[in-house]
Amino acid sequence: MDQLIKVDIKNNQQVLSARDLYNGLEIAQRFSRWVLNNFEMFEEGIDYVPCTSSTQLNQYGGTKEIDDYTITIDMAKQLAMMVRNDNGKRYRKYFLKLEEKWNDPQEVVKRGYEILQNENNQLRIENDQLKPKALFADTVAASDDTILVRDLAKFLRQNGINIGQNRLFNWLRDKGYLLKQSNGYAPTQKAMDLELFEVSEWTISNNNGKPKIKLTTRVTGKGQNYFVNKFLKAKEKVEA
């Protein structure tokens, strides 16, 4: 099918420029008036999103930003129906064909596979970023770098431990390494003696304007090595 108008994919949805459609339909009235007269039946944030596009000022390449809208295929189809001329019919038929192809079961499966591939690629990138830490797991204890508990959870997942941030916080609390307080998590005396965490304090203002101290607990290099080895040893016992 020949391309009648440029259509993009954003957030797994077909969208296009309202100005491109306006120009293709050869609307006589000004763009702003066309928008005012026709957009009130649609919902911003669902059917369309305000944006800008560029237009050429002269033959020397000068451009300027102009108001535009990113609209869905369904909205474009309905706008085309409102134009009672051959262009309106032509664009409406084109959008119907795009919708039909989009909803074809094979296309749905294909998009699902692409989404899965993208997620796997993103996970692979994250794992690659964490690999240097895994390679130096034996020497990280000497490092001055500290990380958040959520980053420790990512580090553990990279090493084959299926655990997330919330589960890790609960584990650290249940095993006596952290205490949950009203202003955050604080290390226990046991954890401080082992030098597993560092704590920083920061102040926020309550609704009544009074300051409140919040805690941020970070895992030391020694703590990272300690917990990774602890989880890996537990995993080996389960698999043995």
**pLDDT for residue 143:** 55
Task: Return d(Cα 45, Cα 82) in angstroms, integer.
Answer: 22
**Angle between helical axes of 18-25 and 31-38 (0-180°, round to 10):** 100
Both structure tokens of 209: 């304007």
- Does the global pTM surpass 0.95? no
Smallest CA-to-CA distance from 20 within 3, 5, 4, 35 is with: 5
**pLDDT for residue 65:** 86
**pLDDT for residue 135:** 43
Report yes or no: 184 and 214 within 8 Å, Cβ to Cβ.
yes
**pLDDT for residue 205:** 61
DSSP string, 139-207: TGGG----EEHHHHHHHHHHTT----HHHHHHHHHHTTSEEEETTEEEE-HHHHHTT-EEEEEEEEE-T
Q: Which residues contact 160 (CB under 8 A, 6 or more apart)?
A: 232, 235
Both structure tokens of 121: 């690629």
Smallest CA-to-CA distance from 204 within 226, 184, 230, 232 is with: 184
The residue assigned the tokens 């580090």 is 155
**pLDDT for residue 132:** 46
The residue assigned the tokens 């391309």 is 3
Q: Along the 240 residues of the chain, how does pLDDT read in single tens digits?
A: 689 999 998 888 899 999 999 999 999 999 999 999 999 999 999 999 999 988 776 666 667 889 999 999 999 999 999 998 899 999 999 999 998 888 888 877 776 777 677 777 777 766 655 554 444 455 454 456 789 999 999 888 887 888 888 999 999 999 999 998 888 889 999 999 999 999 888 776 666 666 777 888 899 988 988 998 888 888 777 665
Both structure tokens of 86: 């051959």
Report yes or no: 18 and 70 within 8 Å, Cβ to Cβ.
yes
